[in-house]
Amino acid sequence: MEIRHLQTFKTIVDLGGFRKAADHLGYAQSTITGHIQLLEDELQAPLFDRLGKKTILTETGHRFLPYAIQFLNLYEKAKEIPGNDDDPTGTLTIAAPESLTVYRLPPVLHEYKQRYPQVEIILKPSPNREALNRLRTGENDLVFLLESEWKEPDLVIKKLIDEPMMLITPPAHPFQEVSAMTLPALVEETFLYTERGCSYRMLFERYLQENGVSPRATMESWSVEAIKQCVMCGLGISLLPSIAVQSEIQEGKLAGVPWEEPYSVATIMAYHKEKWLSPALKAFLQMVKQHAMRW
């Protein structure tokens, strides 16, 4: 089982076909086919089914994929060993939700790239805890989440800062506070949700459910920025982190009501307990901690 065979397998999965993988890797398609046949011979089972023009993983392929990813990640990390802590190299794959990607991480990333230009950073959007699965398989080196605090035995989970939430409304909206007194009014509102799986969406839905409130209408968007624009236009109200709306509130484009219910979220950083902390990752973790002290 050779590294190049695993690279071929992973590329076919990522790109969705043998021909695309051949073009991407610079191989003849017959070479790609040969790599997969060698893997299948070792595993004694097929890795792919070809259904018309589609190439899909078999059950064996699905089960083999996490191991292939781990092998490839170990290979990449092993290549970093000759480096030193003062001049790290390699690649960091970081997952974070939109709010943190836009409002927390840019200063960290900017300083890091200035100090360690040899490190390649891959920043992946991550709206929910699915990123933790990729952390366990080694696809992600580090994950940032907006979550309530929790513990998992195989992960190092560090809370960086509590994140206040704001119920945002168009300017001149009648809400002055969020409490049991305003619950009946919430029933009449259209609520603009972030996509399913987002922690603060789940917190608000739980709050409404526990208080027997069901908004008359809802809309869903993957984008925090799109939600803010919709609220500005009077399409409804939403619950978002304060860091994502403070500028618009100061400019009078939105009104904001502090969320003071007993549900809260925090910016949380997580990585695998058994993960080798490369010089590049150690430097990034240290820089995040320094910035978090100023948040």
Q: Where are the domains of the chain?
A: 3-79, 90-162+266-292, 165-258
Q: Letter for the amino acid at 76?
A: E
Give the SS3 label for residue 165: strand
Residue 262 has pLDDT above 80, yes or no: no
CA distances from 82 to 79, 88, 90 (A): 7, 10, 11
Q: Label residue 250 by pLDDT band (50, 70, 90).
A: very high
| Of 160, 83, 95, 178, the residue nearest 131 (C-alpha) | 95
When mean pLDDT is compared across 38-42, 49-53, 166-170, the lowest value belongs to 49-53
Q: Label residue 215 by pLDDT band (50, 70, 90).
A: confident
Q: Label residue 261 by pLDDT band (50, 70, 90).
A: low
Q: Label residue 51 by pLDDT band (50, 70, 90).
A: confident
Question: Residue 34 has what pLDDT?
Answer: 93
Q: How far apart are CA 182 and CA 172, in angstroms?
A: 16
Intrachain domains 3-79 and 165-258 with the same fold:
no
Q: Is the Cβ–Cβ distance between 186 and 231 less than 8 Å?
A: no
| Per-residue tokens: 238 | 């939403």
Q: How far apart are CA 91 and CA 27, in angstroms?
A: 24
pLDDT (mean) for 23-35: 91
- The correct CATH number of 165-258 out of 3.40.190.10, 3.10.20.70, 3.40.50.970, 3.40.50.300 is 3.40.190.10
Q: Label residue 149 by pLDDT band (50, 70, 90).
A: confident
Q: How far apart are CA 24 and CA 15, in angstroms?
A: 9
Q: What top-level class would CATH report for the domain 3-79? A: mainly alpha
Domain 90-162+266-292: give its CATH superfamily. Answer: Periplasmic binding protein-like II (3.40.190.10)
